[in-house]
Amino acid sequence: MNTIDWLTKLIAFDTTSRLSNLALIDEVANYLTGLGLKPWLVHNEAGNKANLFVTIAAADGAEEGGLVLSGHTDVVPVDGQQWHSDPFVADIREERVYGRGSSDMKGFIASVLAAVPQMQAASLKVPLHIALSYDEEVGCLGAPVLLAELEKRAIRPQHCIVGEPTDMRMVVAHKGINTFCCEVHGKSVHSSLTPKGVNAIEYAARLIVFINRLAHDLQHRADLDQAFDMPFSTIGTNLIQGGSAINIVPNHCTFEFDYRNLPHMSVADIIEPIEQYIQTELLPAMQAVDADSRITLTQKVNVPPLNDQHNQLLHQLIEQLVDSDQRAKVAYATEGGQFERAGIKTVVCGPGSINVAHQANEYVPLSQLARCDRFLQQLILSQQQ
Ligand SMILES: [Zn+2]
């Protein structure tokens, strides 16, 4: 099957993150097994989703080291979107393949699967691996499970290409995603007795303003990275809930904020000042009224950034395979940071555009798929003995 055939097949599996991806994984596993390979799966706790990993050994049989081609199998929902065609039926028109996941990122997976026979026929000096994950779109939950299993099996690839849509440009760095849930517990009283209560919404508001000032400070640091379109780390409070009635001082307020860090910045860079503000400013004032008042801060999503440091060998290899010598840095996150954290040098490069990903009428141009096919062919050639 060629890339378009595979993409048509992959789009037809509705692998929206809330659903199982097992039908798609089984199809791919059967295909690989039929080619004489030994794919293995690692499931989520519920057992309804799986990552798939397969190694195409080097000519001497070696399965150590080598390069991983990585993609996520899940897609974002189509709920509420106006599609011109069925999002789960590949619709080929205008030199494009329309369908959910065509760009993000079943196009890359299709191209990789179509190239497997060529990988097997090549006399590889190092192995090639294929990694397919679940639940990338809901916080990159699947890849860490796969990476832990690799560690357990002592499989240590050297390099990785994550095929998220980059228009086949090499992306060498991206920001991280960290989300935090903050719960403010105060004390309820009748609103006529306001000073006797601890107003959770108002303390939450003070903390949100503090976080907003931090966000402002981030924009004026000396260590910005102009290679990013948003050259600083960003923070924003994007969800809030609290209160029950207009005449009750609220005892509970929950809000969530999102911190997108540049690769050289850490979670501690913002959490330390926030914790300090809570400890020195907010809690003393709250607990002076009610000793049980408290604030809890919990990290929910933790997707590490992808760093472009210490990656020269891989960058030089990929640079020869793409049309542009541009080394892009992007604001969106991928599983690349997780691979890198596991000691696997990673770049992001794949067909299609992030601008159409997650949108109605998502598509991948046929020309991008052809470029990806060519990229993989040249990659295989470059890995031959
Ligand atoms: Zn994606």
> Can you give the pLDDT at residue 310?
78
CA–centroid distance, residue 338 to ligand 1 (Å): 14
Q: What is the dihedral of CA 258, 260, 265, 271, to 10 degrees?
A: 0
pLDDT in tens, 145-174: 999 999 999 999 999 999 999 999 999 999
Instruction: Measure the CA–CA gap between 76 and 364, rounded to whole angstroms.
Output: 16
Question: What is the H or E stretch that residue 150 is in?
Answer: helix 142-152
- Where do the DSSP E strands lie in 64-145? 67-72, 91-93, 96-98, 128-133
80 three-class SS: coil
> Can you give the pLDDT at residue 325?
76
Residue 255, strand partner residues: 182, 240
Q: What is the mean pLDDT of residues 85-111?
A: 98
CB-based contact 256:180 (threshold 8 Å): yes
Residue of 261, 136, 286 whose CA lies nearest to 198:
286
> Can you give the pLDDT at residue 46?
96
Instruction: Measure the CA–CA gap between 83 and 70, rounded to whole angstroms.
Output: 28
From the candidates 74, 104, 137, 202, give the one annotated as an active-site residue: 74
113 three-class SS: helix
> Can you give the pLDDT at residue 105?
97
CA–centroid distance, residue 75 to ligand 1 (Å): 7
CA–centroid distance, residue 197 to ligand 1 (Å): 46
> Can you give the pLDDT at residue 311?
83
Q: Would you say residue 309 has pLDDT above 90?
A: no
> Can you give the pLDDT at residue 89?
98
Residue 72, strand partner residues: 133
301 three-class SS: strand
Instruction: Measure the CA–CA gap between 231 and 294, rounded to whole angstroms.
Output: 35
CA–centroid distance, residue 60 to ligand 1 (Å): 34
> Can you give the pLDDT at residue 229?
86
Q: What is the mean pLDDT of residues 40-54?
A: 97
Q: What is the mean pLDDT of residues 116-140?
A: 96
pLDDT in tens, 175-206: 999 999 999 999 999 999 999 999 999 999 99
Instruction: Measure the CA–CA gap between 216 and 379, rounded to whole angstroms.
Output: 43
CA–centroid distance, residue 180 to ligand 1 (Å): 22
Among this protein's residues, is 74 annotated catalytic?
yes
Q: How confident is the model at residue 341 (pLDDT cuts 50, 70, 90)?
A: very high
Q: How confident is the model at residue 323 (pLDDT cuts 50, 70, 90)?
A: confident
Residue 50, strand partner residues: 43
Q: How confident is the model at residue 292 (pLDDT cuts 50, 70, 90)?
A: very high
From the candidates 135, 136, 308, 340, give the one annotated as an active-site residue: 136
CA–centroid distance, residue 106 to ligand 1 (Å): 9
CA–centroid distance, residue 208 to ligand 1 (Å): 30
- Write down the residue that tokens 């517990």 correspond to: 185
327 three-class SS: strand
> Can you give the pLDDT at residue 199?
98
pLDDT in tens, 244-285: 999 999 999 999 999 999 999 999 999 999 999 999 999 999
> Can you give the pLDDT at residue 225?
94
Q: How confident is the model at residue 1 (pLDDT cuts 50, 70, 90)?
A: very high
Q: What percent of the chain has pLDDT over 90?
A: 96
